[in-house]
Chains A and B, each alone.
Chain A
Amino acid sequence: MAKITMTVNGRQVSGQCDDRTLLVHFIRENLGLTGTHVGCDTSQCGACVVHMDGKSVKSCSTLAAQAAGSDITTIEGLAANGELHPVQAAFKANHGLQCGFCTPGMVMTAVDMIRRHGGQLDEATVRAELEGNICRCTGYHNIVKSILAAAAEMGGARVAAE
């Protein structure tokens, strides 16, 4: 057991866990932040994506100990003052989800994608960058549409063709 300290959604947190504890379990079980999901648990599906020091990572393939001292953002950290983050709002407006299980990972991935590409984001790039996120409901069309709408809202990108 070790005491792990990190910043999660702007708040310094600590918890006791085994060295083998995965970051996703630390977030869900020690911190009670259950928005981050475990989907496949084999690094394929991306439901567990969080940001570590500003970059998207798979929290099911990262040890909590590796993340000690870092700055983590989870899906719970996006909305501010009761207002949805523009990416969350775009997923809602464009029906970018059905069952919603993959959505936290999709949204965290989209935020990272828009941060890196900004106004350069086009449909082909969005589809290529969704490589590490699996959705079994939507067929991706409305997810892509949501991300492009959010990118346009946040930085002025082209809107997806219908």
Chain B
Amino acid sequence: MYETQYHRASSIQDAVKLRQAAGEGKYLSGGMTLIPTMKQRLAAPTDLVDVRQISEMKGITVSGRTVRIGAATTHFEVASSAELAAVCPAIAGLASHIGDPHVRHMGTIGGSIANNDPAADYPSAMLALDATIVTDRREIAAGDFFTGLFETALEDGELVTAVTFEAPAKAAYQKFANPASRYAMTGVFVARRDNGDVRVAVTGAGSNGVFRHKGMEAALSAQWSPDALAGVTVDPSDLLSDIHADASYRANLVKVMAKRAVAAA
């Protein structure tokens, strides 16, 4: 790892100020991606601004069907929140399968979203739940937030502070995990609103990162059942191909995971 300067922020305001004062700085949350990346010298921020202990960025609030999760809330906390499980068990279940127990104790929802790894789980949940990403300066709809591989709408120095969403009537996430890394080779999050609107978001498969599949959304809005997806085609031309799975294999996985998710919701 190259030299870096560590700063611990005590508040959101403090974090943004520290980050502004830094050269090529980065926010550090759980560090479960950033630290290994720095160890491999694939990232070399001059400064790290640690936001993990900012109390206003921690915790889960549920009021009615409105959910707010602080950005520094760990995967373990999301997975084990009884309050959250009561209104949206799908996101708690998703968090319980990220990495391993040690990673879940450190990694945070804000860190995962800001990193936007194309195989990360949370971006699909944010998109399917039509979540709002709250930052130190504005609110961004999930649909506008995830812009490409490891790319987001965040400006330089902008800090994700929380996510909010309305709990859906039904939702589920199913992933086909890479047998070695356990990252999603394909993961599908489905969510259905009380008014019948359906969102289907796919992670791990798109060559441009997380995406919604409009064909499946239309089919499931008309009929909420796994069988409704039988006639839907998933175009492999925009999907990833790698040594683990080629695009046509992933296209099939998208459909299989979507069917399983609808069945599980």
Contact = CB atoms under 8 A, between A and B. Distances in A.
Interface residues of A, number: 28
Given A20-B38, A129-B100, A132-B99, 15 more contacts: A19-B5, A20-B2, A46-B100, A46-B102, A52-B105, A56-B102, A57-B102, A61-B106, A63-B48, A65-B8, A66-B28, A66-B50, A131-B101, A131-B182, A132-B102
A109 interface: yes
A55 interface: yes
B101 A129 contact: yes
Contacts of B35: 22, 61-63
A41 interface: yes
Nearest to A64: B6
B22 interface: no
Contacts of A129: 100-101
Contacts of A63: 6, 31, 35, 48
Contacts of A99: none
A59 B40 CA distance: 16
Contacts of A41: 39
Q: Is the interface of B mostly helix, strand, loop or mixed?
A: mixed
Contacts of A58: 102-103, 106
Given A57-B106, A58-B103, A43 B3 contact: no
A43 B6 contact: no
Interface string B204-243: 0000000000000000000000000000000000000000
Interface of A: 2, 18-20, 22, 41-43, 46, 49, 52, 55-58, 61-63, 65-66, 68, 109, 112-113, 129, 131-133
B102 A109 contact: yes
B36 A42 contact: yes
A113 B245 CA distance: 33
A139 B8 CA distance: 42
Contacts of A43: 32, 36, 103
B4 A62 contact: no
Contact of B101 (A18, A52, A113): A113
The 9 closest A-B pairs by CB, nearest first: A132-B100, A19-B6, A131-B100, A65-B6, A55-B105, A20-B1, A58-B102, A61-B35, A56-B102
B183 interface: no
Contacts of A42: 36, 39-40
23 contacts: A19-B48, A22-B39, A43-B32, A43-B103, A52-B105, A55-B76, A57-B106, A58-B103, A61-B31, A61-B35, A61-B106, A62-B31, A62-B35, A63-B6, A63-B48, A66-B6, A66-B31, A66-B50, A66-B52, A113-B101, A129-B100, A131-B99, A131-B182
Contact of B3 (A18, A46, A109, A113): A18
B4 A20 contact: yes
Q: Which residue among B28, B32, B99, B105 has the maximum number of chain A CB atoms within 10 Å of its CB? A: B105
A123 B100 CA distance: 17
A19 B4 contact: yes
Interface string B13-45: 000000000000000100110011011100000
Nearest to A41: B39
Interface in B98-140: 99-103, 105-106
